Amino acid sequence: MSLGEYTMFLLVVVFVSVSLMSDVGLTETFVHSSYVAAVYEHNLILNPEPRVPQTRSAALQHMQKNLDIYEEQAARAAQQGAQILVFPEDGLQGFNFSRSSISGYLETIPDPQQESWNPCTEHGKYNNTEVLQRLSCMARRYNLYMVANMADLQPCALKTDPSSSCPPDGHWQFNTNVVFSSDGLLVARYHKNNLYFEESFDTPPQPEMITFDTPFAGRIGLIICFDILFHDPTVALVEQGVRQLIFPTAWMNQLPLLDSIQFQQAFSLGANVTLLAANLRNDQMIMTGSGIYTPFSATYHHAQKGDPEEGKLLVARVPVLDPLWVGQSVATEEVVVRVESTSSTATDSEFCHKESCLDSPPTETPSSVPPSSSTFISSMMYDPFTFVLLKETEGEVNVCNGTFCCHLQYQQIPQGGSKELYALGAFAGTHTVNGRCALQVCALVRCAGLDVSSCGQEVEEAESKMDFQLEGKFGTRSVYPSILASKFVLEQPEHLETAADGRVTMKHSNMTAGLVTACLYGRMYHLDHE
Ligand SMILES: *[C@@H]1O[C@H](CO)[C@@H](O)[C@H](O)[C@H]1NC(C)=O
Ligand SMILES: *[C@@H]1O[C@H](CO)[C@@H](O)[C@H](O)[C@H]1NC(C)=O
Ligand SMILES: *[C@@H]1O[C@H](CO)[C@@H](O)[C@H](O)[C@H]1NC(C)=O
Ligand SMILES: *[C@@H]1O[C@H](CO)[C@@H](O)[C@H](O)[C@H]1NC(C)=O
Ligand SMILES: *[C@@H]1O[C@H](CO)[C@@H](O)[C@H](O)[C@H]1NC(C)=O
């Protein structure tokens, strides 16, 4: 990276952090309760024929090329003071393997809950662990915690019992996060629970809830990619009080609701957690978008069309959110109080329980405005959203799908006569394409064209800025808010509020770029299997 580019990068990070942090008075807290995190968006070197089995030595040769890049980035991250560095899902081997063609890439990763092993200093202990050894030595050499994703082989007992979850070939293959401490010790191993068309991997017999402790930030939880959309283990970890999550991903972007950085921000805000998200960069697979998110700040990267296909290191200082760790020092207790006094006003911290959600579905509309008359249905991300157009330059609209209603107050800021169509959409139902997710969604979108049928289609750019208040009454406490502006710019919502009755309000004004999507993405986890 050139010096100019480096300066730009620092400016961007400083700008984002300071401008968002100053609102909540966190600047001083850096002294006592913050740490430096890094994520690397990796433009991986692929195996051009993933379905052809490789010998172990050919597979290793391939992975060493990606490990060489990891090594350079670990050095750069360390230079910038990083205490923890996260690499993406599939970043060493790639994807599209079959169950058998991936075999050369597999290592058997010992369970760090059962034994203490430093692969760098005790490399003779296990054969066939070259990748673990190299990662461990890297963490040690650069004196940082390191999280990488790799393929794990675990032998299992083949029983005569046909209901045994052990595959017929006598072993499991897991999509796995490994974590090394700054002296190279293997401290955590997490097997992905929610696979996304990965025929080379097995779902673990039980969902795993894996956390590890650090001396600089306390407890951190582990998830992988598709996991972020489901209750287990992601929301289960948050419900247990885990406030910092690490998220290696290989995320295929899908506008207008599930672009990588859009959902990363949404999750961090909705779950009130720090999220360290490292994505792959691969244009053919539409993969880009990584970041370091706290409930008050976002440092992120999203490549644009035409950008060179290359990696990106992000480094940011973030506050410690682990309540146990924070409680350890007097200095940081003040911090908690100050954050509380300025944060948005959730009045009820209870999550939605299955019974209460089902017994009392929301029936009233969130405002006295009757549902706007001319609604239409258009498909957004394969779901039939009920939409209403924004016909004036300012006003109020209301739209319902069944008893689930969304309400919008808006004022468009005139932008030199640009003609752009916007619509407010509501969806309550189960998304079933490429995974089952029960949803309640309110989304204000820019339609891709000037025809109503284009509402819900993908669009990346917009000129119209808007001041707005978007509101819905949800049957869940898990609502993930996001504001995506033109050319993949995130905006931090000015005001977010959750009322005890499930009403969520997101207010925003003074946008820096045109509005692409403003969304309240409610997840009805308790209905996923019905
Ligand atoms: C992986 O598979 C997908 C879907 O079959 C395909 O579009 C893509 O090109 C493949 N990528 C690689 C790197 O093999
Ligand atoms: C590693 O492999 C060598 C050669 O196959 C064998 O002699 C040795 O016992 C193995 N070591 C371990 C720890 O399994
Ligand atoms: C988010 O967490 C902070 C503590 O870190 C807490 O003070 C605040 O009330 C939480 N906000 C919400 C909306 O739950
Ligand atoms: C939402 O709208 C769709 C499409 O009109 C409809 O099939 C579905 O029943 C509605 N959902 C509810 C909960 O009414
Ligand atoms: C938005 O901009 C206007 C005019 O510059 C300013 O008066 C107002 O305070 C800003 N609002 C927020 C919430 O920053």
Q: Do 349 and 372 reside in the same domain of the chain?
A: no
Query: Could you give the angle at the alpha carbon of 412 between the alpha carbons of 406 and 414, nearest 5°?
Result: 165
CB 428 within 8 A of CB 386: no
Beta bridge partners of 219: 213
Distance in angstroms (rounded) separating the CA atoms of residues 116 and 374:
64
Pocket of ligand 2 (CB under 6 A): 126-127
**Over 90: is that where the pLDDT of 19 sits?**
no
- Greatest distance between any 2 Cα atoms in the chain: 73
Fill in the amino acid letter for 136. S
Ligand 2 center–CA 70 separation, angstroms: 28
- Ligand closest to the CA atom of residue 117: 2
Distance in angstroms (rounded) separating the CA atoms of residues 499 and 505:
8
Residue 174 lies in a domain: yes
* CATH number assigned to the domain comprising residue 103: 3.60.110.10
Residue 361 lies in a domain: no
**Is the beta carbon of 384 within 6 A of some atom in ligand 4?**
yes
Distance in angstroms (rounded) separating the CA atoms of residues 504 and 359:
20
Ligand 3 center–CA 480 separation, angstroms: 15
Q: Do 233 and 342 reside in the same domain of the chain?
A: no
From the list 107, 120, 130, 225, the catalytic residue is 225
Q: How many CB atoms lie within 10 A of CB 525?
A: 21
Beta bridge partners of 314: 39
> What is the rounded end-to-end Cα distance, in angstroms, of the chain?
51
From residue 350, give the alpha-carbon distance in Å to each of 169, 434, 435: 44, 30, 27
Share of the chain above pLDDT 70, in %: 84
**Is the beta carbon of 252 within 6 A of some atom in ligand 1?**
no
Q: DSSP string covering 453-511, please?
A: GGTTS-------EEEEEEEEE-SSS-EEEEEEETTTEE---SEEEE-TTSEEEEEE---
Q: Which residues, other chains included, contact 337 with Cβ-Cβ below 8 Å and sequence gap of 6+?
A: none
| Least trusted range by pLDDT, from 249-258, 319-328, 364-373 | 364-373
| Residue 160: per-residue pLDDT | 66
Atom of ligand 2 nearest to the CA of 127: 1
- Ligand closest to the CA atom of residue 123: 2
Can you give 193-251 as a three-state secondary structure string? CCCCCCCCCCCCCCCCCCEEEECCCEEEEECCHHHHHCHHHHHHHHHCCCCEEEEECCC
Ligand 4 center–CA 261 separation, angstroms: 29
Distance in angstroms (rounded) separating the CA atoms of residues 325 and 13:
26
CA torsion angle 243 249 252 254 (round to 10): 0
Residue 382, sorted as left (phi over 0), alpha (psi -120 to 50) or beta, turns out to be left
> Active site includes 192?
yes
From the list 120, 137, 192, 405, the catalytic residue is 192
Q: Which residues, other chains included, contact 162 with Cβ-Cβ below 8 Å and sequence gap of 6+?
A: none
Q: Do 19 and 82 reside in the same domain of the chain?
A: no
**Over 50: is that where the pLDDT of 423 sits?**
yes
> Active site includes 156?
no
**Is the beta carbon of 509 within 6 A of some atom in ligand 5?**
yes
Q: Do 69 and 127 reside in the same domain of the chain?
A: yes
In terms of Cα–Cα distance, which of 248, 255, 267 is closest to 305?
255
**Over 70: is that where the pLDDT of 303 sits?**
yes
Please, is 346 exposed, middle or buried when counting C-beta atoms within 10 Å of its C-beta (0-12, 13-18, 19+)?
Answer: middle
Give tens-digit pLDDT for 434-448: 999 999 999 999 999
CB 139 within 8 A of CB 162: no
- Ligand closest to the CA atom of residue 323: 3
Q: Do 350 and 398 reside in the same domain of the chain?
A: no
What rounded mean pLDDT belongs to the chain? 88
| Residue 162: per-residue pLDDT | 67
In terms of Cα–Cα distance, which of 176, 232, 180, 222 is closest to 201?
176
Atom of ligand 3 nearest to the CA of 321: 5
Q: Do 392 and 258 reside in the same domain of the chain?
A: no
Number of H helices and number of E strands within the chain?
Answer: 9, 24
**Is the beta carbon of 380 within 6 A of some atom in ligand 4?**
no
The string over 466-489, giving b where at least 16 C-beta atoms fall within 10 Å of a residue's C-beta and e elsewhere, is: bbbbbbbbbbbbbbbbbbbbbebb
Residue 159 lies in a domain: yes
Mapped onto helix, strand or coil, the DSSP state of residue 132 is helix
Domain containing 387: what range? 366-527
Atom of ligand 3 nearest to the CA of 498: 13
Give tens-digit pLDDT for 186-226: 999 999 999 999 999 999 999 999 999 999 999 999 999 99
Ligand 2 center–CA 202 separation, angstroms: 27
Ligand 2 center–CA 126 separation, angstroms: 8
Distance in angstroms (rounded) separating the CA atoms of residues 439 and 475:
10
Ligand 1 center–CA 200 separation, angstroms: 14
**Over 60: is that where the pLDDT of 27 sits?**
no
Q: Do 438 and 403 reside in the same domain of the chain?
A: yes
If one counts the domains in the chain, the total is: 3
Q: Do 49 and 26 reside in the same domain of the chain?
A: no
Tokens of 93: 């081997």
Share of the chain above pLDDT 90, in %: 81
- Ligand closest to the CA atom of residue 332: 3
Mapped onto helix, strand or coil, the DSSP state of residue 440 is strand
**Over 90: is that where the pLDDT of 488 sits?**
yes
pLDDT band at 397 (very low <50, low <70, confident <90, very high): very high
Residue 495, phi then psi, degrees to nearest 5: -150, 135
Residue 360 lies in a domain: no
Ligand 4 center–CA 401 separation, angstroms: 5
Q: At what angle do helices 130-141 and 56-79 cross, to 10 degrees?
A: 10
From residue 102, give the alpha-carbon distance in Å to each of 99, 176, 282: 6, 14, 20
- Ligand closest to the CA atom of residue 48: 1
**Is the beta carbon of 494 within 6 A of some atom in ligand 5?**
yes
Q: Do 341 and 280 reside in the same domain of the chain?
A: no
**Is the beta carbon of 510 within 6 A of some atom in ligand 5?**
yes
Ligand 1 center–CA 94 separation, angstroms: 10
Residue 49 lies in a domain: yes
Q: Do 127 and 172 reside in the same domain of the chain?
A: yes
**Is the beta carbon of 371 within 6 A of some atom in ligand 4?**
no
> Active site includes 89?
yes
Strand boundaries in 263-350, DSSP class E: 274-278, 290-294, 297-301, 312-319
Substitution site in 401, 430, 440, 524 for ligand 4 pocket (most atoms within 8 Å of beta carbon): 401
Residue 262 lies in a domain: yes
Q: Do 345 and 421 reside in the same domain of the chain?
A: no
Long-range Cβ contacts of 24-28 (<8 Å, 24+ apart): 24/296, 24/338, 24/339, 24/342, 24/343, 25/338, 25/342, 26/296, 26/319, 26/335, 26/338, 26/339
From residue 280, give the alpha-carbon distance in Å to each of 40, 64, 95, 290, 331: 8, 17, 11, 8, 38
Distance in angstroms (rounded) separating the CA atoms of residues 504 and 337:
24
Q: pTM (2 decimals)?
A: 0.88
Give tens-digit pLDDT for 147-196: 999 999 999 988 766 667 899 999 999 999 999 999 999 999 999 999 99
Cis preceding-peptide flag for 256 (omega within 30 of 0)? yes
Q: Do 68 and 28 reside in the same domain of the chain?
A: no
Beta bridge partners of 213: 219
Atom of ligand 2 nearest to the CA of 124: 13
Substitution site in 321, 339, 478, 497 for ligand 3 pocket (most atoms within 8 Å of beta carbon): 339
More confident residue, 164 or 519: 519
Ligand 1 center–CA 483 separation, angstroms: 30
Residue 73 lies in a domain: yes
Atom of ligand 1 nearest to the CA of 96: 1
